[in-house]
C-alpha cells in the first residue's frame, strides 16, 4: 500500500545515478583485481544484506529503486562513502551490520558484472 | 451466502406457501394478520423495474455485483424486466472487485459502470476500492441495498445488514449520495448522481435503493413516474484573465515546463497538450508511475517518445524550469521537492529560485478534510481552479496571440535542445535494459522488452502495471487508451480487477489488453479471475512475480539499518514464498489459459506468444514470470 513511497525513492535514484554517470565519464582508477573468492562472497552478501532488493541481483539497477552499480561504477572510496552515509533514501550501512571486509567483497562483485547485452531493437 | 434472513423466513412459512413463492423476508408475519385466501402473493411490476428504467436511461452497459438480499428486487428486475441487457449483470466475487472493475472500465470507456452492493457488509468490502476511485477522480456509480423501515426487516441477519445512513461510511471519499424515499425521488437522485459524478472533478457517487422501494408493487407509489432528462454539465474552464496571465508567463519564459498528471480525461486532452507543447516548444513531464517527479498518478497525456517529453530526465527539467505549469496534478509540492526518508525526514526544493508556478486543476473545486489525498500545501504564483483539459483551448489561443517571430525562433532553438536530451535518455535506457539480460530470475527490463516485442504490432492497451518503469522507457506510447494510470489511492488489490474492467471496455474495440500484475496485489481478491473467464473477457496478464510484498521489504530494510539491526530478517512478514504459489494452476482452475512459472528468459517470448494467441481466441491468459525484485 505504499506505491507513493516507492516513488519517493526515485528522487534518490536520479541523484545517485547522476553521481554514477559522472564517475563513469571520468577516468576511473583501475580496481585491484579481485579474487574469485571475494567476488563469490560478494555475490552472496549482495543478497544477504539486501542490496539486491533495490539494485537487482546482478547490480543492474532499477529505474524505481536503485541505480546500476557495476561494472564501471563508482570508485571504491566513493562507493564506500555512499554506503556508510547515503545522501538520500538508501538505508545507511554501519560497520556493525556491514564490516569493511564484506563491503570490499560487495564492491568486487558489482565490478565483476558483465557489460550490457544488446536488447532487441525498439521499433 | 448472504441470504440467511430470507432462508430463515422461508423455513418458517407454510409448506404450500413455500411451494407457490418464497416468502419475502420483509413480509408481515402471519401471526400479525393471518393469511387469507384473498391475500395477494404475487404482483406485476415492482419499484425496482422503474429503477431499471432509470439505469437504462443513463446508458450503463454493465452492472457489477456480488449478489445480496438487500438488492434482490433490483437484481431480479435487471435480469428479467431489463432482459439482462444494457446493463448486463457481471457476476463478481467481491465488492472490492466490482468497484475496481468499474474503475478500470471508466478509464477506457469514459463512461461509468454501475455496481450493486449491500449497504452494510457489501459497502464495507467495497470501501477501499471506492477510495482508490476517489483519489483517482473516477466516477463509480454505486447502488446500495438497505431496509430503512425497521418494521419491514426480517428478524436476524436482515437487521444486521441494515443501517440508518448507509452512505455515511464512504461519505468522506464520495462526491455525492442520497437515500431516496420514493420512486420519483429515486429517479431524480439517480440522474442527479450521474450528472455530479460526470462533472469534473469526477468522483464516485452512491444511491441507496431501499428494499421497500424495490419490492413494493409499482402501483403503490405516488405520482407519475418518469425518468428525468440528463444534461451533463460543461466542465469548468479557467477564468479568462487568469488564462491570459498564464499565457504571458509561458511565452516570456526561457525554460517553461508543463507537468501533466490526470489531465487527459479524453483523447482530446492528449491532442491539446501536444498542441500547446509544440506551440511553445516547452518541456513536458507526463507522469507515469515510478518516474520523476515522484507522483503516483497519471493518464496518457503525452507520447513518451515525443522529442519534448522530458519525463525520464524530470529532475533536470524541473531544476531548469523558470515557469512550471501543473496540469491536473495532485501533488505539485512533491513534484517540486526532493524528499529524504532518513531518521529525520526532510524536503528540499528541486526548483531554482524565482521559478513561477501555475496550477490548473479541478481538484481545487472538490476538497474534503478527513482523508489527506490533497497532499502538502504548495506555494504557487497563479492558481486556476478549473478543468485542465477544458482550459487548454483557451490557453493555446492566448499563447498564439502573444507569439512573435523573435519568440518563435527562441522556441525552436529550445525545442532542438530538448529533443537531443530526450533522445539521449531513451538511448541510455535501452543500454541499461541490456544489463542482467540473461539473469534468472528474469530482469524487469528483459520482461518489458520481450513483452514489447510480442505486442508492438497489435492495438494494445496497458491497463495496469508499470514493471519498474521499463515500459515507459522501452515501449512506444502514443494513444490515449495505451495507458490508464494507477489506482489513485495506492490501495493494493486494484490491479487485477481494474485491468479486467478495462479489458471489458476494450473488448468491443478488439484491443489487446495487457495487465502487468504484481503477485501480492493479485491475491487480495483473486476470485475476479473467475469473473473474467465467466464473462469471456480477453486479457493478457503477465505476472511480475517477485514472491514478496517487495515495497515493504525495502521499508523493513530501512528500519533495520536505521536501528543498526541489519536486514537479515526483513523478509519476515513480507515474502510470499515457502510455498511459492503456483499461479498458473490457480488461474487454470478458474478457466484461464495459463503458463508458468517462467524463470528462464529464453522461454519467455514463446510463452507470451502462446498466451496472446489464447487471448485472441477470446480467453483470458496468464503467464507467471519469476522476476528480479524490481
> How far B401 CA lies from chain A's nearest CA (Å)?
38
> How far B130 CA lies from chain A's nearest CA (Å)?
15
pLDDT given for residue B32 in this prediction: 52
pLDDT given for residue B222 in this prediction: 67
CA distance A53 to B548: 11
Q: What is the mean pLDDT of the segment spanning B100-109?
A: 98
Least confident piece of the model among A32-46, B9-23, B348-362:
B9-23
Asked, for residue A69, whether it belongs to a domain, the answer is yes
pLDDT greater than 60 at residue B225? yes
For strand B345-349 and strand B337-341, is the pairing parallel, antiparallel, or unpaired? Answer: antiparallel
Domains in chain B, start-ordered, CATH in brackets? 43-220 (3.40.50.970), 240-367+374-419 (3.40.50.1220), 434-626 (3.40.50.970)
**Chain A partners within 8 Å of B438 (Cβ):** 117
**In chain B, what percentage of residues exceed pLDDT 70?**
92
pLDDT given for residue B293 in this prediction: 47
CA distance A66 to A16: 8
Least confident piece of the model among B11-15, B225-229, B518-522:
B11-15
> How far B339 CA lies from chain A's nearest CA (Å)?
7
Do the chains contact at A53 and B350, CB–CB below 8 Å?
no
Residues paired with residue B235 on neighbouring β-strands, in sequence order: none
pLDDT given for residue B354 in this prediction: 97
pLDDT given for residue B7 in this prediction: 36
pLDDT given for residue B12 in this prediction: 37
pLDDT greater than 80 at residue A119? no
**Chain A partners within 8 Å of B452 (Cβ):** 122
CA distance B87 to B57: 10
Phi, psi of B70, rounded to the nearest 5 degrees? -70, -15
Which domain does A94 fall in, by range? Answer: 7-111
DSSP SS3 for B176:
strand
CA triple B228-B229-B235, angle to 5 deg: 125
pLDDT given for residue A64 in this prediction: 86
Q: How far apart are the first and last CA of chain B?
A: 40
Q: Reading across the β-sheet that carries B356-360, which strands appear in turn?
A: B283-286, B256-260, B323-327, B356-360, B382-384
Mean pLDDT of the residues in chain B = 92
pLDDT digits (tens, 9 = 90+) for B136-176: 999 999 999 999 999 999 999 999 999 999 999 999 999 99
Encode B113-131 in three state secondary structure. CEEEEECCHHHHHHHHHHH
**Chain A partners within 8 Å of B558 (Cβ):** 89, 91
The CATH number of whichever domain residue A34 belongs to comes to 1.10.760.10
- CA B106 to chain centroid: 7
Do the chains contact at B434 and A119, CB–CB below 8 Å?
yes
Residue B10's pLDDT band (boundaries 50, 70, 90)? Answer: very low
pLDDT greater than 80 at residue B411? yes
pTM metric for this prediction? 0.91
Residue B557's pLDDT band (boundaries 50, 70, 90)? Answer: very high
pLDDT given for residue B36 in this prediction: 61
pLDDT given for residue B514 in this prediction: 98
The domain tally of chain A equals 1
pLDDT given for residue A72 in this prediction: 86
pLDDT greater than 50 at residue A49? yes
pLDDT given for residue B88 in this prediction: 98
pLDDT greater than 80 at residue B416? yes
**B563-568 long-range contacts, CB within 8 A, separation 24+:** B564/A94, B564/A96, B564/A97, B565/A97, B566/A49, B566/A97, B567/A49, B567/A50, B567/A91, B567/A97, B568/A48, B568/A49
Q: Does B132 touch chain A (CB under 8 A)?
A: no
Phi, psi of B258, rounded to the nearest 5 degrees? -105, 120
pLDDT given for residue B506 in this prediction: 98
pLDDT given for residue B288 in this prediction: 58
Q: What is the mean pLDDT of the segment spanning B572-585?
A: 97
pLDDT greater than 70 at residue B60? yes
pLDDT greater than 60 at residue B31? no
Asked, for residue A61, whether it belongs to a domain, the answer is yes
Beta-carbon contacts of A118 under 8 Å, excluding residues fewer than 6 positions away, are B434
Which one is predicted more confidently, B35 or B396? B396
Phi, psi of A15, rounded to the nearest 5 degrees? -65, -45
Interface test with A, best of B554, B572, B605 (most A CBs within 10 A): B554
CA distance B432 to B498: 31
Interface test with B, best of A8, A93, A119, A123 (most B CBs within 10 A): A119
Q: Which of B296, B340, B552 sits opposite A88 (nearest CB)?
A: B340
Dihedral in degrees, nearest 10, Cα atoms B268, B269, B274, B277: 140
pLDDT given for residue A73 in this prediction: 84
Which residue is it, cell 500500500?
Answer: A1
Asked, for residue A117, whether it belongs to a domain, the answer is no
> How far B561 CA lies from chain A's nearest CA (Å)?
6
Asked, for residue A116, whether it belongs to a domain, the answer is no
Which one is predicted more confidently, B48 or B27? B48
pLDDT given for residue B542 in this prediction: 98
Dihedral in degrees, nearest 10, Cα atoms B377, B379, B381, B385: 0
Q: A with B: how many residue pairs have Cβ under 8 Å apart?
A: 182
For strand B540-545 and strand B621-626, is the pairing parallel, antiparallel, or unpaired? Answer: parallel
Listed residue (B531, B527, B553, B536) closest to B616, CA to CA: B536
pLDDT greater than 60 at residue B603? yes
Residues paired with residue B514 on neighbouring β-strands, in sequence order: B462, B540
Quote the ipTM score.
0.86
pLDDT given for residue A28 in this prediction: 42
Interface test with A, best of B567, B599, B609 (most A CBs within 10 A): B567
Asked, for residue A1, whether it belongs to a domain, the answer is no
pLDDT greater than 80 at residue B16? no
pLDDT given for residue B35 in this prediction: 54
**Chain B partners within 8 Å of A113 (Cβ):** 435-436
**Chain A partners within 8 Å of B565 (Cβ):** 97
Residue B541's pLDDT band (boundaries 50, 70, 90)? Answer: very high
Q: Does B257 touch chain A (CB under 8 A)?
A: no
Amino acid at each position: 500500500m505504499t506505491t507513493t513511497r516507492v516513488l519517493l525513492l526515485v528522487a534518490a535514484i536520479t541523484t545517485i545515478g547522476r553521481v554514477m554517470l559522472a564517475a563513469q565519464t571520468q577516468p576511473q582508477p583501475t580496481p585491484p583485481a579481485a579474487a574469485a573468492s571475494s567476488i563469490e562472497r560478494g555475490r552472496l552478501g549482495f543478497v544477504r544484506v539486501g542490496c539486491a532488493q533495490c539494485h537487482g541481483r546482478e547490480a543492474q539497477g532499477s529505474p524505481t529503486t536503485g541505480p546500476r552499480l557495476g561494472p564501471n561504477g563508482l570508485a571504491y572510496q566513493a562507493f564506500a562513502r555512499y554506503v556508510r552515509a547515503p545522501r538520500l533514501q538508501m538505508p545507511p550501512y554501519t560497520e556493525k551490520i556491514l564490516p569493511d571486509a564484506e563491503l570490499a567483497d560487495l564492491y568486487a562483485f558489482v565490478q565483476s558484472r558483465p557489460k550490457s547485452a544488446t536488447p532487441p531493437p525498439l521499433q | 451466502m448472504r441470504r440467511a434472513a430470507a432462508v430463515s423466513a422461508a423455513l418458517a412459512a407454510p409448506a404450500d406457501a413455500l411451494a407457490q413463492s418464497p416468502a419475502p423476508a420483509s413480509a408481515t408475519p402471519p401471526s400479525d394478520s393471518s393469511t387469507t385466501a384473498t391475500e395477494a402473493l404475487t404482483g406485476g411490476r415492482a419499484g425496482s423495474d422503474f429503477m431499471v428504467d432509470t439505469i437504462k436511461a443513463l446508458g450503463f452497459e454493465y452492472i457489477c455485483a456480488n449478489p445480496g438480499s438487500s438488492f434482490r428486487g433490483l437484481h431480479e428486475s435487471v435480469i428479467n424486466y431489463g432482459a439482462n441487457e444494457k446493463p448486463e449483470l457481471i457476476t463478481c466475487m467481491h465488492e472490492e472487485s466490482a468497484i475496481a472493475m468499474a474503475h478500470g472500465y471508466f478509464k477506457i470507456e469514459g463512461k461509468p459502470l454501475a455496481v450493486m452492493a449491500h449497504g452494510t457488509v457489501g459497502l464495507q468490502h467495497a470501501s477501499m476500492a471506492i477510495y482508490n476511485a476517489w483519489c483517482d477522480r473516477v466516477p463509480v456509480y454505486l447502488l446500495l441495498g438497505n431496509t430503512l423501515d425497521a418494521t419491514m426487516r426480517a428478524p436476524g441477519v436482515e437487521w444486521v445488514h441494515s443501517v440508518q445512513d448507509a452512505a455515511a461510511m464512504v461519505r468522506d471519499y464520495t462526491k455525492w449520495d442520497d437515500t431516496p424515499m420514493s420512486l420519483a425521488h429515486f429517479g431524480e437522485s439517480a440522474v442527479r448522481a450521474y450528472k455530479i459524478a460526470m462533472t469534473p472533478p469526477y468522483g464516485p457517487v452512491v444511491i441507496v435503493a431501499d428494499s421497500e422501494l424495490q419490492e413494493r408493487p409499482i402501483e403503490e407509489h405516488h405520482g407519475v413516474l418518469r425518468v428525468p432528462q440528463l444534461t451533463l454539465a460543461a466542465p469548468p474552464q479557467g477564468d479568462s484573465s487568469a488564462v491570459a496571465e498564464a499565457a504571458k508567463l509561458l511565452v516570456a519564459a526561457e525554460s517553461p515546463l508543463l507537468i501533466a498528471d490526470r489531465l487527459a480525461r479524453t483523447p482530446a486532452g492528449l491532442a491539446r497538450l501536444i498542441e500547446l507543447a509544440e506551440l511553445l516548444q516547452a518541456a513536458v513531464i507526463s507522469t507515469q508511475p515510478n518516474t520523476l517527479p515522484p507522483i503516483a498518478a497519471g493518464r496518457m497525456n503525452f507520447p513518451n517518445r515525443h522529442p519534448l517529453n522530458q519525463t525520464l530526465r524530470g529532475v533536470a527539467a524541473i531544476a531548469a524550469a523558470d515557469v512550471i505549469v501543473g496540469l491536473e496534478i495532485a501533488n505539485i509540492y512533491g513534484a517540486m521537492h526532493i524528499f529524504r526518508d532518513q531518521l529525520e525526514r526532510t524536503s528540499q526544493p528541486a526548483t531554482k529560485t524565482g521559478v513561477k508556478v501555475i496550477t490548473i486543476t479541478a481538484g481545487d473545486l472538490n476538497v474534503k478534510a478527513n482523508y489527506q489525498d490533497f497532499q502538502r500545501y504548495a506555494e504557487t504564483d497563479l492558481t486556476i481552479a478549473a478543468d485542465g483539459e477544458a482550459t487548454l483551448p483557451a490557453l493555446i489561443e492566448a499563447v498564439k496571440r502573444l507569439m512573435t517571430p523573435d519568440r518563435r525562433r527562441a522556441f525552436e532553438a529550445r525545442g532542438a535542445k530538448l529533443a537531443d536530451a530526450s533522445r539521449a535518455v531513451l538511448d541510455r535506457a535501452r543500454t541499461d535494459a541490456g544489463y542482467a539480460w540473461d539473469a534468472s530470475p528474469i530482469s524487469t527490463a528483459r520482461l518489458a522488452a520481450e513483452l514489447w516485442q510480442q505486442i508492438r504490432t497489435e492495438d494494445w492497451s496497458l491497463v495496469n502495471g508499470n514493471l519498474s518503469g521499463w515500459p515507459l522507457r522501452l515501449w512506444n506510447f502514443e494513444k490515449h487508451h495505451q495507458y490508464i494510470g494507477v489506482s489513485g489511492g495506492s490501495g493494493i488489490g486494484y490491479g487485477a480487477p481494474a485491468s479486467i474492467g478495462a479489458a471489458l471496455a476494450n473488448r468491443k474495440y478488439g484491443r489487446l489488453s495487457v495487465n502487468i500484475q504484481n503477485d501480492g496485489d493479485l491475491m487480495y481478491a483473486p476470485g475476479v479471475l473467475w469473473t473474467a473467464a465467466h464473462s469471456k473477457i480477453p486479457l493478457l496478464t503477465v505476472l511480475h512475480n517477485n514472491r514478496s510484498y517487495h515495497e515493504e521489504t525495502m521499508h523493513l530494510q530501512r528500519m533495520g539499518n536505521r536501528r543498526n539491526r541489519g536486514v537479515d530478517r526483513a523478509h519476515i512478514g513480507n515474502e510470499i514464498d515457502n510455498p511459492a504459489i503456483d499461479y498458473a494452476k490457480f488461474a487454470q482452475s478458474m478457466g484461464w489459459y495459463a503458463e508458468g512459472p517462467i524463470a528462464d528468459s529464453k522461454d519467455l517470448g514463446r510463452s507470451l506468444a502462446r498466451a496472446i494467441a489464447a487471448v485472441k481466441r477470446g480467453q483470458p491468459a496468464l503467464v507467471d514470470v519469476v522476476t528480479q525484485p524490481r
